[in-house]
Chain A
Amino acid sequence: MKIEEFDVIIVGAGLSGLRAGLELSSKWNTAIISKVYPVRSHSGAAQGGINAALGNLEVSKDDTPKGHAFDTVKGSDYLADQNVVMFMCEEAPKIVIEFESMGAPFSRLESGLIAQRPFGGAGFPRTCYAGDRTGHTLLHTLYEQCIRNNVAFFDEYFLIDLIKANEKIVGIITLDIPKGEFVIFRAPYVILATGGFGRIFKHSTNALINTGDGNGAAFRAGVPMQDCEFVQFHPTTLYGTNILITEGARGEGGLLYNTEGDRFMSKTAPKAMELAPRDIVARAIDIEVIEGRGFENAYVHLDVTHLGAEKIKERLPGIREISINFAGLDPIDELIPVQPGQHYSMGGIATKYKGDFGETDLSGLYVIGECSCLSVHGANRLGGNSLLETSVFGRAIGRNLLKKGLIQLPPLDEIKKAEVNALNVIENLLKQWENNSGKKPVEIRDAMGETMNRNVGVFRKQEELEKAYEDLKKLQKEFLNVHVRTTDLKFNYGVLRTLELRNMLDIAEVTAYAALWRKESRGAHYRWDYPKRDDGNFLSHSLVYRTKDGLELKKKDVILGIFEVKERVY
């Protein structure tokens, strides 16, 4: 079997992985591994922008990183680790300016400076943007810089499992998708930057590739998952396909209406209105639908017609294109049907309490971006903070590792033993899948998505969460007997999607389990049966482990100390 050796391996080639790779490859032998070509990564789907207190507008000249940090912590319903948030917000102006120096084609103000727009939950217009294709432009720009610096890419390699020896990470086992062969990458450091896992839900804005592959691999290697009960439902996804309609549409002045023609946001957020944070707007929309004021019992209207054709074409061209292509309507003249849909995973692979940024309990393993929980978003992420998180921590973790220096791998015979073991595990699994006589993967995948959507959605309660958890345990059992053809692995997407399902089932189970445990309402986690925030019992992160007796949950302290924990009003 082929073995590749590097100083550091990065899995995932979205903004997090690319930014870390750019930093590390300047000094170390670095490999970036991705199951798709880098520019296909889901970072490219981000539309609205990236937050930084640049103060480029007259109205935002008093904006500060501390103000940005406060909004982020308040938006998180006080669950974010405040020191990490503060670091991110202080780095924000630098990282945006760095992107500009890489050639990122931001939209501009008349002054020639980077344009900024208002976004939900923000005290000032601080979201820097490139039309409504900000993620696309940043992803392409960063990829260009990686090409410039000859970063080593391994495109179309699928992460199967982590390999550890003597309680340290020593590499990963992958499937070379075009060749259909297993390849081991050996290194003392592994950084997971594999993105979110929104596809555990049936309705999601996420790309089809967002299946939590890093999360599944880390969880199987004994690393806990943190805060997975916090799932962001974006308020405005296109009815039908659930393709994202950016918050920037509301930032530019878009309004939400129910069937009675009311701007219903006045009831829940009389001051912020449509620009309240996402959790609040998503709940408000679902309440309208539940109480019978939604269209077709499913959606409300987003109105941008009053912005006029010119502004829509200039600021929201992607939204217009999506509406025309996927809903057959032109938002210049018509209202856009929108409903909440799964959008972002605030939780993820747990990081060490008071360790380095992104450092996990497994020595040598680091995590960044949506697959991780650092935790900068707490119980609810503000729009414009995810692109920011990827690049700030991609760079920071890269720099930090270079400063720490390379570490010794465990003895070679220990590593080889672990590698052979990893290979045996996957070979046996594939043999089993070929010989099994159970369900097709699609049946299990659909059932998972259904139960997550129905029972672990915007509004939650005990019985439904229990139902989801039982369903998922049953699906896990059925998955042991799943059948798929595995004899020829070359471009075998049937096998890849079954490996993805293996990862998703674990994370879905963790999500339902943690949501059951959290008997309070905080940020994106809302429980009918516990409608209040309960700081006495639950102002803490959740850590979920797999033990031989099933899942187990521990608490982890939230890092406070900069901003006082208060009630959250908009």
Chain B
Amino acid sequence: MSEKIKFLVYRNSGNGDIQYERYEVPIFRGMSVLEALFYIQDYFDSTLAFRYACRGAICGSCGLTIDKVPLLACRAQVSTIKTVKKPINLPEFNFGDHSDWDKDNEILIEPLPNMEVLKDLVVDMDPFWRFYREIEPYFEKDLIDVAPESKQSPEQMKVIERLVYCILCGLCWSCPVSKKNPNYLGPAQLAKADRFINDSRINKAKRETIVSRVIKQDAVPACEKFFMCNRVCPKGVMPGTAIKDIRDKWISDE
């Protein structure tokens, strides 16, 4: 007989009807939380809703709150979830009443915080994409396809390298500022702005357009320097550091 582990899973019909359901899942070596959720969907309740795509921590689909920590479900290992080091100074995320949660023995699965729940573990990412679009995150040069390409030194590339790793998973929206200010553009969006601002190939006008948007309210000045985004980011993007970079370079009178 294989070992079984209990999962306490947030369920929400989308009509305000919230409950936590318990499932006992047989586990295997190397099983991820995402695989456990599939087991529940396959064998206990096919209507359990959660997003997924790559299962390899590169697509950004499966962000969830697992044992009160925002994580990618595909990367979270069932066997070690109770023992791995957690990011420090996380706020209390509250989704509903789960007072009977056996903290030491049950894995608690909840949606990402600070986004509206559409069904079960699926959240409304529309604001996330809307704010992403709002910073106009793109090159505006004419497309050319004739050699040679425009040049960039390895050092210039290095400046933006960390920032282009962002997978837009939304874990950083667990930021306390996102909680209290629904208009806050968000750490991922500001990191994306920093990626373009710092690209050596971008022209002055485009850079200034992006800068002028993000140095206004609900953007860089709204950041309260919790740096929680740096701690929960699964890809080492360090959005908080990117926000600081914009502030240091473009907001003088602080």
Contact = CB atoms under 8 A, between A and B. Distances in A.
Interface of A: 36-37, 39-42, 44-45, 54, 93-98, 100-103, 105-114, 130-131, 133, 136-137, 140, 144-145, 147-148, 178, 207-209, 240-241, 243-244, 318, 321-322, 325-326, 440-442, 484-485, 488, 490-495, 497
Interface of B: 14, 30, 41-43, 46-61, 75, 118-120, 122, 125, 129, 133, 136-154, 156-157, 160-161, 164-165, 167-168, 196, 199, 201-202
A148 B60 contact: no
Contacts of B30: 240-241, 326
A369 B251 CA distance: 46
Given A147-B133, A178-B118, A209-B53, A112 B152 contact: yes
Contacts of A491: 14, 49, 118-120, 122
A44 B118 contact: no
A228 B26 CA distance: 36
Given A94-B146, A98-B143, A98-B145, 7 more contacts: A42-B59, A101-B139, A101-B149, A102-B139, A103-B138, A103-B141, A112-B153
A39 B60 contact: yes
Contact of A208 (B52, B118, B148, B165): B52
A36 B56 CA distance: 16
B47 A98 contact: no
A101 B14 contact: no
A492 B199 CA distance: 42
User: Which DSSP category, helix, strand, loop or mixed, fits chain B's interface?
Assistant: loop
B42 A442 contact: yes
Contact of A440 (B14, B42, B140, B148): B42
B125 to A, nearest CB: 7
Contact of A101 (B52, B60, B142): B142
Contacts of B161: 105, 131
Given A107-B154, A243-B56, A39 B47 contact: no
B140 A148 contact: yes
A441 B42 contact: yes
A37 B147 contact: no
A97 B137 contact: no
13 contacts: A36-B53, A36-B59, A41-B53, A98-B143, A100-B149, A101-B149, A103-B202, A105-B161, A133-B58, A147-B138, A326-B75, A491-B49, A493-B48
B156 to A, nearest CB: 8
Contacts of A114: 149
A144 B139 contact: yes
A268 to B, nearest CB: 29
Contacts of A101: 139, 141-145, 149-150
Contacts of B120: 491
Contacts of A321: 57
Contacts of B59: 36, 39-42, 44-45, 207
A207 B53 contact: yes
- Name the residue among A103, A441, A488 with the largest chain B CB count within 10 angstroms: A103
Contacts of A112: 151-153
Contacts of A100: 149-150
B46 A494 contact: yes
Given A98-B145, A112-B152, A442-B43, A40 B60 contact: yes
Contacts of B144: 97-98, 101
Nearest to B53: A40
B146 to A, nearest CB: 7
Contacts of A105: 157, 160-161, 164, 199
B61 A36 contact: yes
Given A36-B53, A207-B55, A493 B41 contact: yes
A108 B140 contact: no
A144 B138 contact: yes
B151 A111 contact: yes
Given A94-B146, A208-B55, A491-B49, A37 B42 contact: no
Listed from nearest, the 9 A-B pairs whose CB atoms lie closest are A494-B46, A112-B151, A103-B139, A442-B42, A94-B145, A144-B138, A491-B49, A98-B145, A148-B138
B147 A208 contact: no
B121 to A, nearest CB: 9
B138 A241 contact: no
A133 B150 CA distance: 21
Contact of B199 (A94, A103, A490, A497): A103
Contacts of A147: 133, 137-138
Contacts of B48: 493-494
B48 to A, nearest CB: 8
A252 B149 CA distance: 24
A326 B30 CA distance: 8
A442 to B, nearest CB: 4
A103 B49 contact: no
A98 B142 CA distance: 9
B118 to A, nearest CB: 6
